[in-house]
Structure 1
Amino acid sequence: MTTTPQSTATDVPAQEDGGATILEIGQQPDAWREVATSIDPRAEGFLRDVTAHADLRVILTGAGSSAFAGEIVAPALRHHLGRRVEAIATTSIVASPRDHLEPRTPTLLVSFGRSGNSPESLATTALADEIVDDVWHLVLTCDENGTLARAHADRPDSLVVLMPERTNDTGFAMTSSLTSMMLSCLLLLGPATRDDAETLARAAQHVIELQPEIRALAGAKKQRFVYLGAGPFEGLARESALKLLELTAGEVVTYFDSPLGFRHGPKSVLDSDTLVLVYVSTDEYTRRYDLDIIAEIRAQLGPDSVTVISAEPLDDAIVLPGLSGLGDSSVALAYLVFAQYLALFTSLEHGKTPDNPFPSGEVSRVVKGVTIHPMTTGR
């Protein structure tokens, strides 16, 4: 895969101007184009043979944002492949492997990992090798020197797909790394095409041009942010909430849910200092529930307390043009760029250093302190 050098230290804006994080968010349109034009034909052959198994199970796995990537793309892969596709976090698999791994079910384990150095990432692939009779691995990562990439580089039952070098984000939060891995997965196993990647890149460029409006939202300095979305957008809402929580170092309360689920108790979080963001589905049926919750919360808190992101023309919404015809798993990439900017600008409003919002090390870019315990019982 063609690589592009990362910015040097002298090129990076000051932390109060967004640091490396603002560059890494803004590079996504070009990074997606690069991902789409550099798919190795050998990858397509490997996956064609694996997905030909009629009883194949596909597990999408990762930790944190990488886990949420699986939640977002899983529905598209399920429809496209006609196979059982599930998103299960590495943290869940490592803690309770026999609850999630099926010995006699042929399995393709798709691992998302920015660096591939999270302890649970390698442990999950090792557990799959130990427990599952027939298992193949697809590793999507941004670091060819990471532990996960090196462990699977020369295995005949594994395929390592590297993202453009510049997407190995140096900032704390996963931005271009996350969306590039998601796009790669949709291109390799889902319905996405190179034309779709170009469409998404143009939509992301539109979001980049909306930075003044997004800064204004952050400037209101709301103390609670609620993200709502259905289907693939529930994973998107979860990732959006995490991004803002991370970059504000937990100073701002965030929550996520589906529009229907939100009414069942979680709606109690709403107050006058809350901003609600609703991701409107491209599916006509699902969209009805999105519109219902928008109207309900606007009536309760007022119109300025709800921000609506839509791919279709909609009154009082931020509309990302040109996305008609794409499913929610794909559209989520463009919506994510909006969420990333909102998290970044809210971080700056609270005086944080976005490239390292935890300067004392309470939370690290690659998780530390995890002990991987050996399995001591046989099958």
Structure 2
Amino acid sequence: MMTLLHLDPADLERRGATHTAREIAQQPRVWRDVHALVQSRRTALDGFLRPLLARPALRIVLTGAGSSAFIGQCLAPALLQQLGARPGIRIDAVATTDIVSNPAQCLQPGVPTLLVSFARSGNSPESLAAVQLADATVDDCHHLVITCAAEGALARRLGERERAHVLLLPDETHDRAFAMTSSFTGMLLAAAWAFGLSMPSVTALGDAAAALLAAEAERLTTLGQQPFERLVVLGSNGLQGLAKEAALKMLELTDGRLVAMADSPLGFRHGPKTVLNERTLVLILLSNDSYTRRYDLDLLRELRRQGRGRVVALSTSALNAEDALAADDVLLDLPANAPDLALAPVALVFAQCLALLASLKLGITPDNPSASGTVTRVVSGVVIHPLSPPSP
């Protein structure tokens, strides 16, 4: 199998971590396959998307549940920045869990809508119900489905439908492990390329992730062995969605035994900062936007000055003389002018590795971390209630 952080494959198999480790390690290569797929579908994608994006007052709703919802939160700011000059266009990241529980406040009947659904398996009850509710509620609704499973219900139901387009990613993105890793970054990048967002080349992205895995193995191992009991991940704009995903990976892979939370650097001061203690690890994802980065650096200085917890900054460039990189900081091998969306998949590889190592340290089986069965790979126990209440 593909090695990760010099971990022994036989030991990973014995400890129930084979799939998770492989699916983290394979991402630089899988991204190239995803890019090639999107390019091969370019004509069909453009034929579907261009007429929609040219329409006045189009609303794009990026949706999914759990990790898949965070994909939309990563993408929405970048999409708005690139498409926002078009009159009347709106871009919202709305979780399927919100759409299903309250469609009247999430969907607008008279507004032409493109519902972009992200789904690893396409079998989550909320993913299917959100599509049905959108069709029932919105007069003019189109669907772009980005999924990893050809046999999934979402791909099968929308594959041949009018006003719908399904982008099925390579099978390797369909994670066999419990936690979403390749599927998250694969769907994120597929959407960015499908919409033609400004990004570094796929080679630059893959090389940056591969370099991180090679250069940071020792640092990650050291951090993974630290006795921290809380993790805080901070990011601005689209990187806040990435921070939520990074925190969720730690919660999932440690079966909730290591508490993790996410916020924006500015928002963190407004109460959530009370979570800090001497056994807290803080990851700050520094924005490449020069204006936003000032606020990120303000909090970085503040946290280091106050000295509560261990602080690690992930950055694409060395800081200025006043904010020189500390020994713990991680330098991402991407251009200093790369959009924040490009930072997301590379930085997430670091967070995924950290969560895997923390899981192993706690004696948990990362491929199936929920010993109690409280959570499952495809969510269960969801009852989809009819939109109209039953007659008395």
User: What TM-score comes out, normalization by structure 1 length?
Assistant: 0.93
Residue 186 of structure 1 aligns with which residue?
A: 192
Matches within 5 A, 1:59-138: 59-82=61-84, 83-138=89-144
Residues 155, 250 of structure 1: alpha-carbon distance in 2 compared, 3 angstrom cutoff = same
Aligned-CA RMSD value: 1.7
SS of alignment partner, residue 352 of structure 1: coil
Could you tell me whether the CA contact under 8 Å between 1:72 and 1:233 is conserved in 2? yes
Residues 25, 135 of structure 1: alpha-carbon distance in 2 compared, 3 angstrom cutoff = same
Could you tell me whether the CA contact under 8 Å between 1:137 and 1:157 is conserved in 2? yes
Matches within 5 A, 1:142-221: 142-192=148-198, 196-209=201-214, 210-221=216-227
SS of alignment partner, residue 189 of structure 2: helix
One-letter code aligned to 2:263? D
Q: Deviations over 1:290-315 (max 9, x none)?
A: 1111111111226x710110011232
Matches within 5 A, 1:1-379: 13-16=12-15, 18-39=17-38, 40=41, 41-82=43-84, 83-192=89-198, 196-209=201-214, 210-301=216-307, 305-314=310-319, 315-316=325-326, 317-376=329-388
Residue 6 of structure 1 aligns with which residue?
A: none
Q: Quote the offset at 1:221 in angstroms.
A: 2.6
Q: Quote the offset at 1:190 in angstroms.
A: 4.1
One-letter code aligned to 1:125? V
SS of alignment partner, residue 14 of structure 1: helix
Could you tell me whether the CA contact under 8 Å between 1:221 and 1:346 is conserved in 2? no
User: What TM-score comes out, normalization by structure 2 length?
Assistant: 0.90
Q: Deviations over 1:152-185 (max 9, x none)?
A: 0001210000111011000110000010000010
Q: Quote the offset at 1:17 in angstroms.
A: 7.4
- In 2, the alpha carbon distance for the partners of 1:333 and 1:85 equals 21
Q: Quote the offset at 1:11 in angstroms.
A: 9.2
One-letter code aligned to 2:124? S
One-letter code aligned to 1:345? L
Residues 56, 11 of structure 1: alpha-carbon distance in 2 compared, 3 angstrom cutoff = farther
Which residues of structure 1 form unaligned runs of 5+? 1-9
Sequence identity of aligned pairs in percent?
A: 48
Could you tell me whether the CA contact under 8 Å between 2:16 and 2:368 is conserved in 1? no
Which residues of structure 2 form unaligned runs of 5+? 1-8, 320-324
One-letter code aligned to 1:24? E
Q: Quote the offset at 1:16 in angstroms.
A: 3.0
- In 2, the alpha carbon distance for the partners of 1:148 and 1:221 equals 42
Residue 5 of structure 1 aligns with which residue?
A: none
One-letter code aligned to 1:311? T
One-letter code aligned to 2:366? P
- In 2, the alpha carbon distance for the partners of 1:117 and 1:278 equals 34
SS of alignment partner, residue 151 of structure 2: coil
- In 2, the alpha carbon distance for the partners of 1:13 and 1:163 equals 27
SS of alignment partner, residue 244 of structure 1: helix
- In 1, the alpha carbon distance for the partners of 2:124 and 2:10 equals 28
Could you tell me whether the CA contact under 8 Å between 1:211 and 1:341 is conserved in 2? no
